[in-house]
Amino acid sequence: MSERSAAPGGLALVESLVNTLDLEAGTDALDTPEARVRLGITEDGVAEARELRESLRAALLAHAGHPPHRAVTPLGTLLARAPLYVAVDDHDGSARLAPAVQGPLLSRVATAVAEALVAGTWTRLKACESETCHWAYYDRSPAGRGRWCSMQLCGARAKMRRYRAKGP
Ligand SMILES: [Zn+2]
């Protein structure tokens, strides 16, 4: 859980997908129609969205230097199923990466990752190192070495655990 503001640009979609699962509470928002509408998927797309979500979480953990939380389909394998092409504007010659197939969540995520690569923001989207959290957050720290979704919550808890481990 986090008091942070949403990740910039298309990364907000990635962040919001990853954070549909609340590990601590054991609730999955993909079970609710509200979250499915927000992400533009139907009930049929939930299994695929869950697979994509955990592949993304593993990539976000890797951004912070952590091993995957569990075995996942590599994110690259999933994104290869949603090819992008270079779309060029006939009028001003500007170019951008666009999904070959408009609409599906996978295509929108692939586009968001491509945009974040260009903006230099992709590796700043991380997953909290706390095993009971693994919440996605955008690391705005100057050095980019954030470790927790929230210093107040998970950071404080980790410190407390270390303190207890040391003993009196
Ligand atoms: Zn956390």
Distance 87 CA to ligand 1 centre (A): 38
CA of residue 115 to ligand 1 center, whole Å: 26
pLDDT of 80 over the 70 cut:
yes
- Compute CA distances 106 → 84, 116, 131, 152, 163, whole Å: 11, 15, 26, 33, 42
Q: How far is the CA of 127 from the centre of ligand 1 (A)?
A: 8
CA of 105 to the centre of ligand 1 (A): 25
Distance CA 168, CA 163 (A): 9
> What SS3 class is residue 86?
strand
Name all domains of the chain by residue range, CATH numbers in brackets.
Answer: 11-79+109-166 (1.10.3300.10)
- Ligand 1 centroid from CA 108, angstroms: 26
pTM over 0.85: yes
Quote the DSSP letter at residue 151: I
What is the pLDDT averaged over residues 109-129? Answer: 95
Local confidence band at 167 (pLDDT 50, 70, 90 cut-offs): low
Residues 4, 149 contacting (CB under 8 angstroms): yes
Residue 163 has pLDDT above 90, yes or no: no
Residue-wise pLDDT for 21-74, tens only, equals 999 899 999 999 999 999 999 999 999 999 999 999 999 999 999 999 999 999
Distance CA 6, CA 137 (A): 8
